[in-house]
């Protein structure tokens, strides 16, 4: 698997991959209203704007896009994995671990002052176990904003050496 910086032509791909996850995987933990708000939260143009302020990466294998993730620096020593999504055909193949490990290594190499890495998830039953396996610990509840709809989330946090 390889990783590269997002380009505007990737926006539609990011939009479709994230929405597929909301529609086919997240409905067991989220209400229909929350799923709809999540789907409508980021339009393709939002990914382009996001890439102007944050680090957005595309995951590829054999020249095919299979996922993406975004990193957001919050302050001098903390960063957030804002989004991480893989095409549903590529789940359960170890690619999520590879992607998250790459994100951590990128932070360590490029934002050397960052000592705290965190993730807020609105679907902790679905992906909380994955984050725990990756060394994150649950750190309480927060709220995510889906276009004005506040959705309860669990914050997972990890110290970076």
Output the pTM of the full model: 0.94
Beta carbons of 21 and 39 less than 8 angstroms apart = no
Kindly report, residue by residue over 39-87, the tens digit of the pLDDT: 999 999 999 999 999 999 999 999 999 999 999 999 999 999 999 999 9
Q: Strand 55-61 vs strand 78-86: parallel, antiparallel, or unpaired?
A: unpaired
Report yes or no: 57 and 84 within 8 Å, Cβ to Cβ: no
pLDDT tens track for 9-44 = 999 999 999 999 999 999 889 999 999 999 999 999
Specify the CATH class of 2-159 in words: alpha beta
Kindly report the CA angle at 78 between 73 and 79, in degrees rounded to 5?
Answer: 45
Quick one: pLDDT band at residue 114, thresholds 50, 70, 90? very high
């Amino acid at each position: 698997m390889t990783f590269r910086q997002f380009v505007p032509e990737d926006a539609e791909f990011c939009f479709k991959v994230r929405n597929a996850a909301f529609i086919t995987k997240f409905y067991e933990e989220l209400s229909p209203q929350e799923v709809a708000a999540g789907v409508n939260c980021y339009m393709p143009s939002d990914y382009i704007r996001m890439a102007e302020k944050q680090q957005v990466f595309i995951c590829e294998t054999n020249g095919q896009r299979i996922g993406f993730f975004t990193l957001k620096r919050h302050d001098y020593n903390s960063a957030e994995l804002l989004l991480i999504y893989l095409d549903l055909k590529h789940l359960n193949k170890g690619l999520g671990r590879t992607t998250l490990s790459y994100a951590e290594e990128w932070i360590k190499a490029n934002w050397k002052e960052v000592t705290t890495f965190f993730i807020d998830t609105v679907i902790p039953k679905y992906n909380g176990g994955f984050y725990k396996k990756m060394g994150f610990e649950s750190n309480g509840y927060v709220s995510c904003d889906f276009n004005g709809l506040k959705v309860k989330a669990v914050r997972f946090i990890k110290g970076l050496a």
